[in-house]
Amino acid sequence: MTGRLRGLLPALLVAALALGACSSPAREPDARPPAGGAQTLPGPPPADLALRPPPATAPAAPSFTATLTDGTGVAAATLWADRPVVLLFVSSWCTTCADRQRALADLARRYRDRVVFVGVAGEDEPAALDGYLREHGVEHPVVIDGSMTVWRSYAMREPPGVVLISRGGRLLRGWPGGVDAATLDAQLRALALAP
């Protein structure tokens, strides 16, 4: 019997080596949190934040709760409780969104403590959206609106779209079809931020 086992040993060794050579090394999962997750939510606003009051005729913004890219829940009322909010309606496949996203992401960084920028992604694949956000330098929160409920409540039909909301949740301005960063910057200063 030992002779027989000795005869099988080389064959087993060859089979083990062949199987090891065919298998690929285990891939490490991406340890980075998804772009647009809870780590991008703002801290407290600066003590000296000066804001313009919304016009008395400004309608209330539709409130919503949604989930960030990492699964964290967020409520719009919490976001606009102490500072203005800019909603950016985007999709990873939208070429106009891609053309404007880097400049809008830079604007969001510049106003990080004074204005909350929130991406609202609808009908997007998680991997494609994460790639889009990373490629365009997005460091603000992004909610997933797979059912398009938030999109419909703001009358958005297709990306891009931008909505400016005052502290306290009043609609100040909307841009179906989106807006460039320079125009949005001017409107933030004219409608929401006091000099």
Could you tell me the CATH number of the domain that includes residue 180?
3.40.30.10
Is residue 195 assigned to a domain?
Answer: no
Is residue 5 assigned to a domain?
Answer: no
Number of domains in the chain: 1
Across 87-102, b (16+ Cβ under 10 Å) vs e yields bbbbbbebeebbebbe
Q: Residue 80: what are its φ and ψ, rounded to 5°? A: -95, 10
Mean model confidence pLDDT for the chain: 88
Is residue 101 assigned to a domain?
Answer: yes
Is residue 12 assigned to a domain?
Answer: no
CA-wise closest residue to 99 among 108, 86, 90? 90
Per-residue model confidence (pLDDT) at position 84 = 98
The reported pTM is 0.83
Per-residue model confidence (pLDDT) at position 24 = 43
> Residue 120 in contact with residue 88, Cβ under 8 Å?
yes
At 87-142, the pLDDT tens digits run 999 999 999 999 999 999 999 999 999 999 999 998 888 899 999 999 999 999 99
Average pLDDT of the segment spanning 25-37: 69
> Residue 139 in contact with residue 119, Cβ under 8 Å?
no
Is residue 22 assigned to a domain?
Answer: no
Q: How far apart are CA 174 and CA 163, in angstroms?
A: 4
Range of the domain at 181: 58-190
At 51-68, the pLDDT tens digits run 999 999 999 999 999 999
> Residue 41 in contact with residue 82, Cβ under 8 Å?
no
What's the burial of 194, exposed, middle or buried (CB within 10 Å: 0-12/13-18/19+)?
Answer: exposed
Is residue 47 assigned to a domain?
Answer: no
> Residue 181 in contact with residue 165, Cβ under 8 Å?
no
Is residue 121 assigned to a domain?
Answer: yes
